[in-house]
Structure 1
Amino acid sequence: MTKLPAGSATATATGAGAGAVSDYADAPAISVESSWVALIADRLGAVESDREFWLRRAALLDRMALAEEAEGGAWTVGEAVPVAVLTAEGAARRLVAYDGVHFGLSTRGADIATGADCREYVREEYRAWRLGALR
């Protein structure tokens, strides 16, 4: 199999990179976030959870996918996308859908938005939320 160079369009298709990691520079440890997400999910369930839950869950799964991508190094042609990436993309799409229903986020073009697009949206929203939460 042919190795793709790190930073190539295909290698970074899921949004991995230094910028993505730096979006989470001030985030709590993954273990702390994982515990919070599990606690809220257990207490409220998915139906009653608010935006903070969906955002933090999507960001947590994105961070886990970024870690897996970093451990795997360069992608190889024909290699399946890691499960963590697919899971992060699903969570990101869930946040986009939540924001569409509750905050009027336009879902126009949602059918052509990639998982990477949705993960980038999560990073932007998480960064904004953290800045507000830290004030």
Structure 2
Amino acid sequence: MFEIRVICTPAEADEITKSLAATFRTGQVRQHPTRDRQRVRLYVTAEQPVSHWPAPETAYAKAPSIISEIGWTARGVRDCLHGIQVREFWLRKAALLDRIALTDDDPVHGDAATLAVEAARRLMEIDHAAGLGPSGFADGPYTPDHPDSIREPRGYVRQEYAIWNRHQ
């Protein structure tokens, strides 16, 4: 748990409060005027949100090797382009890129992470367009348009991969 202090104009206070609440689990915001009375000070107690996503080690525990998945993905492009196994292709590609990003020096902001997020968003678009329930197999807690999925697309991939893998 930590304390955040923000100094802003009164007009910005609501938007900043909403942004903090979207990023962290926050307590009640305390607001006080600055000495010059032109701005306000916001004080809020915050915590990192608890991740509801499967850990990578759990989601990918039974996954084939990265080299094997690269081969499957390369072979699967043709089928995907012809409308065959489109969801499976994007699910496995997104999971592969997520796994590669996890081995990167910067697993959150590196090039591999950027590609993993892009592939995850593509999977989410496919799932949303298909009108899938809470998951591709209808037993995951987060839909592709859930705020947590939008905030953490790679977490959505881990959820869907773990469910998909259980059904294989």
> What is the alpha-carbon root mean square deviation over aligned residues?
3.0
User: Unaligned 5+ residue runs, structure 2?
Assistant: 1-23, 25-47, 134-142
Aligned counterpart, 1:64: 100
Aligned counterpart, 2:120: 92
TM-score, length-scaled by structure 2: 0.55
Structure possessing the higher relative contact order (Cα contacts under 8 Å, 6 or more residues apart): 1
| SS of corresponding position for 2:97 | helix
Aligned counterpart, 1:113: 150
| SS of corresponding position for 2:62 | coil
Letter in 2 for 1:63: R
Q: Distance in 1 between matches of 2:158 and 2:82?
A: 23
Residues 1:39 and 2:67 aligned together: no
Structure number with higher helix proportion: 1
Aligned pairs, number:
107
TM-score, length-scaled by structure 1: 0.67
| SS of corresponding position for 2:114 | helix
Residues 1:101 and 2:138 aligned together: no
Structure having the higher Rg = 2
Aligned counterpart, 1:30: 66
- Alpha carbons of structure 1 residues 64 and 107: separation in structure 2 relative to 1, 3 Å: closer
Q: Distance in 2 between matches of 1:28 and 1:107?
A: 25
Shift of 1:48: 1.9
Q: Distance in 2 between matches of 1:104 and 1:45?
A: 19
Q: Distance in 1 between matches of 2:68 and 2:144?
A: 32
| SS of corresponding position for 2:103 | helix
Aligned counterpart, 1:4: none
